[in-house]
Amino acid sequence: MREYLGVILTAGFGLAVAAGMLAFSIMFGPKKKTPVKLEPFECGMPPAMEPRGMARVNFYLVAVLFVMFDIEIVFLYPWAVSFRELGRTAFYAMGGFLAVLFAGLVYAIKKGALEWD
């Protein structure tokens, strides 16, 4: 139990901060909804034009792919720095990790996630 104390304290602190933010937004947030308050806000000026519609799904797919490969680098760099001390098991584990990521990239390319029509 003692080895999990740090995790429990961190999770408790995170939940307390989230609950506090929610409570403060309820207590001090806007109470009256007026047409002016519900109007979209663009840098203190009235909106220049009506919105064109919803954003394309490709934007979100590219964003997810970016995050996926960004996290890959986060794992890959420390592994590369300590490559010699880790041994063959870590090499094969990283090979499996990269294979899964590469399969995800191939799948995204075949589905057309990176094509902008």
* Residue 3 scores a pLDDT above 80: yes
Domain ranges of the chain: 2-111
- What is the residue whose two structure tokens read 């799948």? 107
Q: Which CATH class is domain 2-111?
A: mainly alpha
Nearest to 98 by CA among 73, 63, 116: 73
Q: Give the model confidence (pLDDT) of 34-82 as tens digits.
A: 887 777 776 766 667 776 777 677 778 788 888 888 888 888 888 889 9
- The predicted model scores a pTM of 0.49
